[in-house]
Structure 1
């Protein structure tokens, strides 16, 4: 080549390289939509399909990095290692404190951004490590049997709306910034609340327009129009014959045409496969047809892998590439708005240091919320607060020393979790007598030995290695360590660990313990598919094959001082995956023997209730009263009732700390127990919060975000989505504890409320007439007096007010004209119908706790 030609070639190459760095989509000064339009035109059809799946691979030729749309932040960054674990959502709703909730989700988004930035610098961002977070859940908790109700903010549309908006603001960051902090996601659109067992085939076909528009849709509308949520997740089941992720009515007519939503619709995980898989919805013939149907209906991103067949669907004429482009442009725009394709130096959120993760300030937020969400349900004889004479107190119950229970579901890994037992001992500064007494559903004396385990290199717990193959070959994709009993389940498409596939993987766990005394221990494990158990080099179980779920218990005779090496290997092939493992001492016992252990105690703090192992998404382990993650009964399990009854008959004063993610029917317990504290699943600082309340260092002010019914007989059929007879808005009976109820260690008195129609405000004075400082939640309800088919009352405002003993404050609650909106049967629309209304202002939804104002709306 001549020198002149060589020089010309170099100039051309350099010019091409410079141009490649200045293409419109690479220009951070251009609007995100313009950049998305430019990049869209440079993608092949196959590349577009890959970008539309939650695990989107990198496209190096265009400089597009790997991106995963699936991350969790239900009540803390979930499934991604160390993070701050806040109380369950249903518990946080009990605080009636949306200002604190927004601060908490701002802290969560700080941790999420910091962890993502650190991961990007490692060169790979996988599942649960991204910037798109699939929360909040704003479905109506219409039935206490739904195992996932704990993910929501209760049974009231206004409550779910107001708390959900706070979550979105905290996650997505304040307005006025060039880049969004994260993407939040309102889920599950729109009519979804169990049963878990039938969600992949259920058709909700006879819902009244009133229930749809007045109960199930308002929170979603508000998050779209008021909070600007950027993602909406469509639900599993069918609505009026069409899968929600393939419903033109839900995703086009309502969400986009009526509400003006311009963000992304993502599918629930595996929902597109439900279109065509045998025994499910059966509306499509195969994955290609299902994918085409979903995209045309408006589902932009699939959690799953069906969308890889979209090119096939285009070739078959089931969808056009232009229709696919609509979704791809939306998702590209969202990624540009995150700054995810721009240098970190331009994106302010990448400056958040990794030191914020589980920092002291965030732990204090977790403690503050854990305190605020405690609901005092009963305090007979003013037993609480207890004095700090530890000698007369004993702690019992299956949840007293359980740290994992405190995390609820969809959790992260805090550096340390304060159990209720630990919180009480820290409060009293001494050891406290303790006996577990029973399990959640069984009267046995059980002690876990997992806390005695050490890894082969001497660290606490068991080491774990995972391979994304079924032969345990090659370098593990994950190497980690577990210090709590193993609890894995891929229900809801949950990976066992970040980077591990949902199917066709293997794992190996190794650790050892030294026996404290001669006797028997039990190795308990639950698994599907392959399992291999090796003890001190001997293979004692080896079923390396495809199998259904199996519950296993193996007895091991041990000698004091002897070391026992345990290796557990697991292979998962297809469909559901479950693995649980623990080593325990288990002895049968009786209520009389349990009572004997409390012989010297005057007061028994019994920490019971239920467990997130049993009430959650598609739980595989079933116990009496539970089925597939839902509850078949809302009664407190009989084993606990028998223990409480025996303690009561022995003359013990019982304080029941009820831990649950849903309402528990505690009718007998109001007789056997002096005091009842609803503690929910209280997060990593929950033990301190419980102790603060029990011993009077914090005055409880939480209120119930759900109705506590008396017993199972008060519930309609679980699979009936009609609101008739459900929640405080339509329930005609007498509940055990009403929505909005919660006691205090002081007393409050409300003055006469007044309504200023012009200003759109309710004003009322609140006085703390007791001797302790405390917090009251003033609640405002509305009813259209002419609407005999409508709700008896519906929440439209609330305000937390902190008062010192003897103090009076004036409280103002916003109540604009739109607060009178309701269903108008005459026009089949939601609107403010002129006429007479009742405003009800008070301290719970019970009529006796409310004062009424008559209002006429023109």
Structure 2
């Protein structure tokens, strides 16, 4: 019998006819009970193929395999939904998976702090441990799916993470996915994340990491499919490329994703300068390149060529046909096309060959790169040969992994202000107020898995000090009419009618194998309410099933009021025949309302086939939220305000348009007006106010900085956020997170969003006064720096060692982020930073304890980029080295000058 473990790796370690018989099995060859079917007879049973021989190199095996494919088969492998080739024993494979801060979009997984929060730890070792855990879970989940012959989207080993674009403008909605605004910090975090994903085996990759989006890409979101960005050579090599270079040089990253936008007039995935000259040439990248999803279609889409049904899709209109787009992208080095909702894939390549747009040898090279990666993953080898093939499914969301998420959350929290109110004293009665106090979205952000132990701030505080010491009120919407307190419609208001017309609890549910609800239902039952997550399909019990469902019954509200209702994705609901949507519904207590909901879970694009859920939820839209907040504060000693934004307002290409937000981006950085008004009234009570701000981007918390007693920046802290926040507020640990971005006072201080010049951007070039600087963060203890050692004179072409002694001079144990900056006495050109981070480390110190921290600065750290993009080794000039807990202009640091000796 073929074991599950064997099946999970395609079984192709077998040779000859046995291997081909196994490999050509159909997609349902393993039943829902995980009992394998008999192998399907192969189309041929020739002697062993060289590509099956693990003694050959991955590239040799890939070349042999590709040589046996037809042109059409090759083209089908260059699409993210790669087709099976049964005659060669190759099954389908979906290249698309995500692991930004945990394995994403495939159901349960440990949810770590969002990437921007990971960066706020400034901790390379922590990042390596987090990424190693993510790849453990990714491996375990993949083999779990593959054991049942499931190779679906979000089930593979090729992760499209991390996002290492530079967060150059705080308006960018996807900035939360990055490691911040500094190339060096981003690069160090990227190296450790990639190493954690890809593993440390000399032969096999644990998973594939993909650095994205190469390389001049950071918004705006609404126009990303058609914008053209221009970066000068100095900014290119000083800001936009260093993190990519570090990931290639130090972590040998296996994959790169190219971007939607055009650069220097050509679409990024079709830019000869970007993809050929720089990526394959200057950077020496030899892995495979995948397009962002739909980016190849953007080559030729324009307003006249395609309609979505409701609006025109406007893109680059760079070439005229699909064949031209496919040929150009592959010739420029794009090996894999993540398609889109309009059918774009690489199937036009055979026509492109026939038209003379590309030769087959160029296509061969692309497919060889792809299969080299798959062979390096061990997908075609005996599991006993692959060091990561036996990670058990129990590793997913294990207690140990979730404890790591909690520890990482603690290290990511940044204390921005504290007038002495924190830490809170034992016995303090608190009012927990604000739209983010009990908001699940602040935990998970975007590109997320489903947490198994989520703890909101409200839940964490109640658990910490007891519910009797906590009063709670939502206080306001998060912005406009966006409510954050939707909850499933409860079972006690849902009924169905019996044959005699009587009401009985629960809804009549019918589940269909056909997502379009044809035929007879496979399952009928009474569901208490609609609040489901399925790991397996409810009809046929498969991991990747399509299915449909209907629920019918009667809603009998217990309270009269105006209700907002919403149905989860793939679903629609009606009340008395009217579809629920963005408008409130007036309901009367005790009245009976006919209720229906239908769900069509099918394989449309995109489909989260491994993540199946249904929910009908509601909230009240007629409450006096402000009055409730003021009442909640009456008996409290301290008001804890939880505000900011969440990933329903900022993110990737979203349909949001209201004050402060547009299409996923920010139009200003102010706290939403409805929150600021509430915060001012809470402060007017005279009680101490502590604000915890959630956001993936910088916020202009100007009023709060001047008026509230303490401010904590939480970013999006992962599933154990509430535990970490409560422990910080009550002093279980000293906060140590540091800002990976500058918090500006106003968007008016910034250049235009589409201006990709770095002038007056980020801490390195900003000439104004920030609200909170890059690298900033307070502690409950204090640290002193002494004995700074910097050479008085040095050859900048050689490494240079600097050091300092750090002492905890406070009364509490603490973790300090030691930061080293360089500032050149003379700026040779405008792209030379005013000040630049060149090293950092973390130290844990008990009260009174000292440690000496040393850093080896490389010539690249000591040099600067000339206007032509070349690295300059300074000679005959001087620079100031500062070592401390932040930037020299904003934090007490020890400084020393070094003279770079003439060559």
Q: Deviations over 1:19-44 (max 9, x none)?
A: 74521111111111111111111000
**Aligned partners of 1:738 and 1:846 also within 8 Å:** no
- Rate the CA distance shift 1:515–1:689 in 2: closer, same or farther, 3 A: farther
Query: How far apart are the structure 2 equivalents of 1:473 and 1:812?
Result: 71
- Rate the CA distance shift 1:13–1:324 in 2: closer, same or farther, 3 A: closer
**Aligned partners of 1:521 and 1:583 also within 8 Å:** no
Pairing partner for 1:335 from 374, 382, 387: 374
- Rate the CA distance shift 1:151–1:444 in 2: closer, same or farther, 3 A: closer
1:852 aligns with 2:892: no
Pairing partner for 2:90 from 59, 64, 70: 64
Kindly state the Cα deviation for residue 609 of structure 1 after the two structures are TM-superposed. 0.5
The equivalent of 2:597 in structure 1 is 567
The equivalent of 1:738 in structure 2 is 773
Pairing partner for 1:415 from 417, 442, 452: 452
1:370 aligns with 2:409: yes
Query: How far apart are the structure 2 equivalents of 1:581 and 1:856?
Result: 67
Query: How far apart are the structure 2 equivalents of 1:264 and 1:451?
Result: 47
1:557 aligns with 2:588: yes
The equivalent of 2:705 in structure 1 is 670
Q: What SS does the aligned partner of 1:533 have?
A: strand
Q: What SS does the aligned partner of 2:742 have?
A: coil
Kindly state the Cα deviation for residue 822 of structure 1 after the two structures are TM-superposed. 1.7
Query: How far apart are the structure 2 equivalents of 1:459 and 1:217?
Result: 61
The equivalent of 1:267 in structure 2 is 291
The equivalent of 1:833 in structure 2 is 874
- Rate the CA distance shift 1:445–1:680 in 2: closer, same or farther, 3 A: closer
The equivalent of 2:574 in structure 1 is 534
The equivalent of 1:546 in structure 2 is none
Q: TM-score, normalised by structure 2?
A: 0.84
- Match runs of 1:642-657 below 5 Å: 642-657=677-692
- Rate the CA distance shift 1:168–1:310 in 2: closer, same or farther, 3 A: same
- Rate the CA distance shift 1:44–1:187 in 2: closer, same or farther, 3 A: same
- Rate the CA distance shift 1:387–1:242 in 2: closer, same or farther, 3 A: same
Q: What SS does the aligned partner of 1:197 have?
A: coil
Pairing partner for 1:214 from 235, 238, 261: 238
1:136 aligns with 2:162: yes
- Rate the CA distance shift 1:623–1:470 in 2: closer, same or farther, 3 A: farther
The equivalent of 2:810 in structure 1 is 770
The equivalent of 1:400 in structure 2 is 437
1:107 aligns with 2:107: no
1:174 aligns with 2:200: yes
**Aligned partners of 1:185 and 1:230 also within 8 Å:** yes
Aligned length: 816
Q: Deviations over 1:785-827 (max 9, x none)?
A: 22252211111100111111111111112212231132123x6
The equivalent of 1:195 in structure 2 is 220
Query: How far apart are the structure 2 equivalents of 1:672 and 1:81?
Result: 42
**Aligned partners of 2:571 and 2:597 also within 8 Å:** no
Query: How far apart are the structure 1 equivalents of 2:297 and 2:17?
Result: 47
Query: How far apart are the structure 1 equivalents of 2:544 and 2:267?
Result: 30
**Aligned partners of 1:532 and 1:570 also within 8 Å:** no
**Aligned partners of 1:443 and 1:588 also within 8 Å:** no
Query: How far apart are the structure 2 equivalents of 1:582 and 1:775?
Result: 42
Q: What SS does the aligned partner of 2:127 have?
A: helix
**Aligned partners of 2:169 and 2:753 also within 8 Å:** yes
- Rate the CA distance shift 1:372–1:21 in 2: closer, same or farther, 3 A: farther
Q: What SS does the aligned partner of 1:377 have?
A: strand
Query: How far apart are the structure 2 equivalents of 1:660 and 1:552?
Result: 27
Query: How far apart are the structure 1 equivalents of 2:244 and 2:506?
Result: 45
Query: How far apart are the structure 2 equivalents of 1:654 and 1:230?
Result: 48
Query: How far apart are the structure 2 equivalents of 1:553 and 1:621?
Result: 19
Q: Deviations over 1:169-215 (max 9, x none)?
A: 00000142x3111000000000000000110000013x221111110
The equivalent of 1:761 in structure 2 is 801
1:519 aligns with 2:560: yes
1:780 aligns with 2:820: yes
Query: How far apart are the structure 2 equivalents of 1:276 and 1:359?
Result: 46
Query: How far apart are the structure 2 equivalents of 1:313 and 1:156?
Result: 42
Deviates more, 1:550-559 or 1:634-643: 550-559
Query: How far apart are the structure 2 equivalents of 1:119 and 1:442?
Result: 42
Query: How far apart are the structure 2 equivalents of 1:93 and 1:87?
Result: 9
**Aligned partners of 1:467 and 1:475 also within 8 Å:** yes
Q: Deviations over 1:337-375 (max 9, x none)?
A: 111122333322110000000001100110000000000
Query: How far apart are the structure 2 equivalents of 1:824 and 1:150?
Result: 30
- Match runs of 1:304-703 below 5 Å: 304=339, 305-380=344-419, 382-390=420-428, 392-431=429-468, 432-442=470-480, 447-450=485-488, 452=490, 508=549, 510=551, 517-525=558-566, 532-535=572-575, 538-541=576-579, 551-559=582-590, 565-569=595-599, 582-589=617-624, 591=626, 594-703=629-738
Query: How far apart are the structure 2 equivalents of 1:482 and 1:855?
Result: 72
Query: How far apart are the structure 2 equivalents of 1:474 and 1:228?
Result: 53
For structure 1, the 5+ residue unaligned runs are 1-11, 488-496, 543-549
- Rate the CA distance shift 1:287–1:16 in 2: closer, same or farther, 3 A: closer
Q: Deviations over 1:734-768 (max 9, x none)?
A: 11110000000111111142125576221101111
Kindly state the Cα deviation for residue 853 of structure 1 after the two structures are TM-superposed. 1.9
Q: TM-score, normalised by structure 1?
A: 0.89
Query: How far apart are the structure 1 equivalents of 2:186 and 2:19?
Result: 55
Query: How far apart are the structure 1 equivalents of 2:256 and 2:153?
Result: 19
Q: What SS does the aligned partner of 1:141 have?
A: coil
The equivalent of 2:39 in structure 1 is none
Query: How far apart are the structure 2 equivalents of 1:511 and 1:690?
Result: 42
Kindly state the Cα deviation for residue 594 of structure 1 after the two structures are TM-superposed. 3.0
- Rate the CA distance shift 1:828–1:464 in 2: closer, same or farther, 3 A: farther
**Aligned partners of 2:435 and 2:485 also within 8 Å:** no
**Aligned partners of 2:474 and 2:625 also within 8 Å:** no
Q: Deviations over 1:397-422 (max 9, x none)?
A: 10111123210100001112000011
- Rate the CA distance shift 1:297–1:727 in 2: closer, same or farther, 3 A: same
- Rate the CA distance shift 1:739–1:444 in 2: closer, same or farther, 3 A: closer
- Rate the CA distance shift 1:361–1:224 in 2: closer, same or farther, 3 A: same
**Aligned partners of 2:567 and 2:617 also within 8 Å:** no
**Aligned partners of 1:782 and 1:794 also within 8 Å:** yes
Q: Deviations over 1:227-272 (max 9, x none)?
A: 1000000000000011000011111111111121110000000100
Query: How far apart are the structure 2 equivalents of 1:30 and 1:666?
Result: 59
CA RMSD of aligned residues (A): 3.4
- Rate the CA distance shift 1:574–1:427 in 2: closer, same or farther, 3 A: closer
Q: What SS does the aligned partner of 2:467 have?
A: coil
Kindly state the Cα deviation for residue 448 of structure 1 after the two structures are TM-superposed. 2.9
The equivalent of 1:545 in structure 2 is none
Q: What SS does the aligned partner of 1:777 have?
A: strand
Query: How far apart are the structure 1 equivalents of 2:367 and 2:767?
Result: 49
Query: How far apart are the structure 2 equivalents of 1:676 and 1:139?
Result: 28
Query: How far apart are the structure 1 equivalents of 2:629 and 2:587?
Result: 26
**Aligned partners of 2:207 and 2:377 also within 8 Å:** yes
- Rate the CA distance shift 1:347–1:266 in 2: closer, same or farther, 3 A: same
